[in-house]
Amino acid sequence: MSDNRVIIFDTTLRDGEQSPGASMTRDEKLRIAKILEKMRVDVIEAGFAIASVGDFESVKAIADTIKGSTVCSLSRALDGDIDRAGEALKNANSGRIHTFIATSPIHMKYKLQMEPDQVVAQAVHAVKRARNLIDDVEFSLEDASRSEFDFMCRIIEACIDAGARTINIPDTVGYAVPDEFGRTVGRLIERIPNADKAVFSVHCHNDLGLAVANSLAAVSNGARQIECTVNGLGERAGNASLEEVVMAIRTRKDILGLETGIDSTQIVPSSRLVAGVTGFPVQPNKAIVGANAFAHESGIHQDGVLKHRETYEIMTAQDVGWNTNKMVLGKHSGRNAFRTRLEELGTIFETDTELNMAFARFKDLADKKHEIFDEDLQALVSDTKTSAYNECYGLSSLKVTSQTGETPFAEVVVVVEGQEQRAASTGSGPVDAAYKAIESIVKTEASLELYSVNAITSGTDSQGEVTVRLEKGGRIVNGLGADTDIVIASAKAYLHAANLLLSSIEKAHPQV
């Protein structure tokens, strides 16, 4: 690998999943991993194997399937974590264990309750144990941006000697600013005697909106791996955005002198898939992947672009995957065209039953909607897989009456473990009435934290995609539903969330 090549380490499936309500199923994680592989992401952090049985199975499934990218599992600097990660990665074509420990004075004193010497010893022990299981080991200094410089030098040198191939400097709480952070990374590489034996990496959070800027400052000062997520997904304000990092490096090669191995035409498809799976829609003015990223309304801008695109555009929409699909599916499209297009979008059907279920929904949608676009297909597949996953509750039928001057009324039939149950309710609106009727059956006793509707495509026949966030006892889940009828989509989303609340899979936060 050339000295100016930046490794792209995607942690959408691990750190991105720590966004409240963004938990993904094994199948959803595998779908995203496949499109990341197609994008030629260097390293896919598939999860935190010790967190739950579900996380372990997801990491293992991805490690068993993905061949073109390195598959990574996070672990604390604890024997049980490391052994569990090694077990999950056992069959990986290329695997990595990523172990970490906190190094800032405030974390060592109050969270770990350990002395600095103990922290160094624990880190070295963890790296050595991981190296006994796998050749590729990454070590992270949690809260590095608030750690003492001399202590960072000491622990990094020791961990490289112990066998760490990658050293990650995270801005865990989004505290750093670019000039400061870049200088710190450069000084570490210059000061540490064995720095040439490891790749230096950065993992920046976006609390001050500086994650991408901090990441670019770091690689300008010698770091050669950036940890990032699709759409900047992540806890609190999120992480460095993969699409922004990649396109900044590509667009400003004249200044940065760097490159990645990413196939940028897969950026928009991956963004759509992640947004659909997690229920976190992309804001219209989001850089690179927002709906307005290449839209021009100003007359001056429009005139300039028509005369010469580069007057107001620094990259083409096609570079990142916009408008590359010329095939629009419709009611006369066959099963092969349907399957082929979904495979291009990163969805592989494991069984004929799964394909047939999705194709039947496609035909139903085609009867309601003249043209079906990629966004429709991805929502349709997410909706199909949502229905098949851990479904105790399913929507059989919904009838809503809403009239000016009259109180909205809803009648619903919900299938509960194979048996139909009926309920009716009034409400302040049709969705409210439907939800009250559904709740009288499912009895989640959860609070509704978010109700969001997004049009998947343009036009009055567009599908609406509804996100519902429920909270109960500190647990947060996102439910998704899609339909050309917003009220039906809303009911599907609520039932999906109810099913997730019933799930016995519990996750541990890796920083607890």
Mean pLDDT by 10 residues, the chain (512 residues): 90 89 84 95 97 94 98 98 98 98 95 96 98 98 95 98 98 96 98 98 97 98 98 95 97 96 93 86 87 56 43 66 60 80 73 82 78 74 60 91 94 92 96 96 93 77 84 86 90 91 62 49
Residue 304 falls inside a structural domain: no
First and final C-alpha spacing in the chain: 36
The reply to whether 191 and 247 lie within a common domain is yes
The answer to whether 290 and 283 are in contact (CB under 8 A) is yes
Residues contacting 467, CB < 8 A, separation 6+: 279, 280, 281, 450, 451, 452, 454, 478, 479, 480, 493
Alpha-carbon gap, residue 36 to 27, rounded angstroms: 14
The reply to whether 208 and 346 lie within a common domain is no
The reply to whether 216 and 230 lie within a common domain is yes
Residue 126 falls inside a structural domain: yes
The reply to whether 239 and 361 lie within a common domain is no
Nearest to 151 by CA among 110, 119, 106, 107: 119
pLDDT reported for residue 430: 96
Residue 321 falls inside a structural domain: no
The answer to whether 264 and 247 are in contact (CB under 8 A) is yes
Residue 303 falls inside a structural domain: no
The answer to whether 50 and 508 are in contact (CB under 8 A) is yes
pLDDT reported for residue 22: 77
Find the CATH number of the domain harbouring 482.
Answer: 3.30.160.270
DSSP strand pairing (464-472 vs 447-455): antiparallel
Residue 238 falls inside a structural domain: yes
Residues contacting 266, CB < 8 A, separation 6+: 35, 38, 39, 40, 321
Structural domain for 379, as ranges: 335-385
C-alpha neighbours within 13 Å on the C-beta side of residue 18: 23
Alpha-carbon gap, residue 51 to 169, rounded angstroms: 23
The reply to whether 250 and 358 lie within a common domain is no
Find the CATH number of the domain harbouring 128.
Answer: 3.20.20.70
The reply to whether 396 and 458 lie within a common domain is yes
Domain count, the chain: 3
pLDDT reported for residue 506: 53
The reply to whether 341 and 411 lie within a common domain is no
Residue 91 falls inside a structural domain: yes
Residue 182 falls inside a structural domain: yes
Chain centroid to Cα 10, Å, comes to 9
Secondary structure E strands in 143-295: 166-171, 199-204, 225-228
The reply to whether 11 and 158 lie within a common domain is yes
The reply to whether 380 and 395 lie within a common domain is no
At 240, list the tokens. 């460095």
The reply to whether 373 and 403 lie within a common domain is no
Residue 507 falls inside a structural domain: no
The reply to whether 250 and 355 lie within a common domain is no
Domain ends where: 345, 367, 385?
385
The answer to whether 293 and 287 are in contact (CB under 8 A) is yes
Q: Write down the pTM of the prediction.
A: 0.82
The reply to whether 406 and 352 lie within a common domain is no
Helix or strand (DSSP H, E) at 476: strand 475-483
Domain ends where: 345, 360, 385?
385
pLDDT reported for residue 246: 97
| CA dihedral of residues 144, 146, 150, 152 (deg, nearest 10) | -10
